[in-house]
Amino acid sequence: MAAFEWMELQTLTSDIEVARSRLAAARADRDHRRMRALEHEIAAAERRRARLLSVLTDDLADAGQQSGADPDTPLGTDPDTPLGVNLDAPPAADHDAAGAPDIASPEGGNIVWEQLTPGDLERAEQELAKRREEMLARHAVELKGLDDDRDRIATLEQAIAEFMRKFSPTGGAGEVVQLGDEREMRAFGRG
């Protein structure tokens, strides 16, 4: 069993989730053509995933039989199985699917999923809290700038209104003076 099969399984699962979120958006937009296309895409990916899972489970069963594992012991929990202790995480390999070596820890061993500690989680929470504070500070600065712009526009609007009030024609704001009769008299030389 190759590590690339596990990676392919993870990729297929991720692709299905992305397609499902796009399908939800298409349903919200009532885009029936896109909905049908995404439903077909999801169905095809789920079929590929089911075939891959079948291959992986067959390989696991074969590996358990070859090692002479106890049939009452769940697969992946027998220390003699070639896959190690945990089937929930992809097996460690010397190389990833692209052929690059696995990332090694400073201690020289491969990084394993089970090595997450409460301290790691605490550091991640602190990092998120720090990023959140930075983002809130940036947003506060942007909001302050927008408030300043709004105040400047209000001041300009008041100045324009005051100018129009002081310097508008005496005939009233927006009134049109009728000159029709006087023009006719001038045109015919009567005035």
Residues in the chain, how many? 191
Kindly list the distances between the CA atom of residue 37 and the CA atoms of 27, 29, 44, 102, 147, in Å, as whole numbers in the listed order: 12, 14, 11, 37, 46
Non-local CB neighbours of 114 within 8 Å, separated by 6+ positions = 85, 86, 89
**pLDDT digit string (tens) for 116-163?**
788 888 899 999 999 999 999 999 999 999 999 999 999 999 999 999
Mean pLDDT for all residues in the chain: 75
pLDDT of residue 119: 86
Res. 91 pLDDT band, cuts 50 70 90: very low
Residue with tokens 């696991």: 60
Q: Per the structure block, which two tokens stand in for 177?
A: 């003076």
Res. 76 pLDDT band, cuts 50 70 90: very low
Full-prediction pTM beyond 0.75?
no
Which of 95, 3, 6 is CA-nearest to residue 49?
6
Question: Quick check: 8 pLDDT over 90?
Answer: no
**pLDDT digit string (tens) for 10-43?**
888 889 999 999 999 999 999 899 999 999 999 9
The secondary structure element, H or E, covering residue 190 is none
As a whole number of angstroms, the distance between CA 122 and CA 120 comes to: 5
Which of 102, 96, 99 is CA-nearest to residue 10?
96
As a whole number of angstroms, the distance between CA 37 and CA 25 comes to: 13
Which ranges of 30-117 would DSSP assign to H, the alpha helix?
Answer: 32-66
Q: Per the structure block, which two tokens stand in for 88?
A: 């929930």
Q: Per the structure block, which two tokens stand in for 66?
A: 């070859």
